[in-house]
Structure 1
Amino acid sequence: MSTGHELAQVNIGRMLAPLDSPVMKDFMDGLDEVNAAADASEGFVWRLVGDDGDNATGFRFYGDEWLIVNMSVWTDAASLKSYVFGPAHRPFLQRRREWFEHLAEAITALWWVPAGGRPTVQDAEKRLTLLREKGPTAASFTMRTLFEPPA
């Protein structure tokens, strides 16, 4: 059943070292494979890519050159969860502390967008800020506290 909405997600990470450093090598070497798995996943709609049509590591978040952003749109939360905890992405998730600082505040936010809508990095900054300030609401929430799409 289509609701006329799709699920947008953003997650950020503060790198421990520059992208071209030995610390980040395994992360960068696996990024194309992980992105290709997302692109091929059931329920995948769109992901933020750079001008070269590749990964989005050139985007900055909150104006911080050490924060990188991942943003995508999915048909539903179940599809997103299946990918995030699936065989291609889970190993990256398990190794995230090798590449990224532990941040005390929220680093992932979800929200509903009209079908066909593509969020901007600025939209994502607003949603993550809202989640950090207000906690989960229908406007910005987490995988643990999901909200239904608007009627």
Structure 2
Amino acid sequence: MPRLALYTFGVLKSPLADPAPLTREFYDIGEAVYRKISQYPGYLARAEAAGGEPGVLFEADWRAWGEFDVPAWYDKGRTVETTALATTLSLWTDLRPAFEAVYSGLHREALNRRYDWFERTGHPNYVFWWVPDGAIPTWQDGVSRLEHLHDHGSAPHAFTFHHPFAPEGTPVRRAAL
């Protein structure tokens, strides 16, 4: 049975290494959000770097999730001191559990604060697509799908909660979420 891949990407207002209170707060809530999200029914896995140090993204070993990549529009730093982005890549069983995890609890609280931490870029900040059972999406897949969504809008290849698609490519009524 196909599984749902989710890639998120945001440009932070300041580098991850910034010791300012807002950056520390983002890190603190981010760790708590990850712990909660991983407990949701329907959550399968997320990309985690081997020996993952916070802020080390570009040089990290992501194993089966592939080489780290970012959208073409990201124009900030790529070193531990200058990286100013937050991104995730995860797998889910279906749209409903992903929707429930994203729009409830601690993650919902973090979403309500997103403009405290993130720039408004005019680009989508997440994308979904279906992957065959046993396949692991890569960072390059996520970037490609996010850029496709930006350029062409929601389609079976790359979609959002607002215009979702079933694994066979048919539109899903949003009310079904």
TM-score, normalising length from structure 2? 0.77
1:26-45 mapped onto 2 (5 Å cutoff): 26-45=25-44
- What's the offset of the Cα at 1:54? 7.1
Q: Which residue of 2 aligns with 1:150?
A: 168
Counterpart amino acid of residue 30 in structure 2: L
| Contact 1:57–1:69 under 8 Å retained in 2 | no
Distance in structure 2 (CA, Å) of the matches to 1:126 and 1:144 = 19
Between 21-30 and 54-63, report the one with greater CA deviation. 54-63
For 1:101-124, what per-residue CA distance to the aligned partner results, in whole angstroms no more than 9, with x for missing partners?
Answer: 012121211100012221111011
| Contact 1:106–1:128 under 8 Å retained in 2 | yes
Distance in structure 2 (CA, Å) of the matches to 1:88 and 1:57 = 25
Distance in structure 2 (CA, Å) of the matches to 1:143 and 1:9 = 11
Instruction: Give aligned-pair identity as a percent.
Output: 29
For 1:32-68, what per-residue CA distance to the aligned partner results, in whole angstroms no more than 9, with x for missing partners?
Answer: 2110111111100111112225778625513643333
TM-score, normalising length from structure 1? 0.89
For 1:48-95, what per-residue CA distance to the aligned partner results, in whole angstroms no more than 9, with x for missing partners?
Answer: 112225778625513643333111110000000110011121111011
Quick check: 1:121 aligned with 2:118?
no
Larger gyration radius, structure 1 or structure 2: 2
Distance in structure 1 (CA, Å) of the matches to 2:157 and 2:71 = 19
- Give the alignment's Cα RMSD to 1 decimal: 1.9
Distance in structure 1 (CA, Å) of the matches to 2:95 and 2:33 = 19
Counterpart amino acid of residue 117 in structure 1: A
Distance in structure 2 (CA, Å) of the matches to 1:55 and 1:115 = 30
Quick check: 1:50 aligned with 2:68?
no
Distance in structure 2 (CA, Å) of the matches to 1:14 and 1:137 = 24
Aligned residues: 148
Distance in structure 1 (CA, Å) of the matches to 2:34 and 2:56 = 12
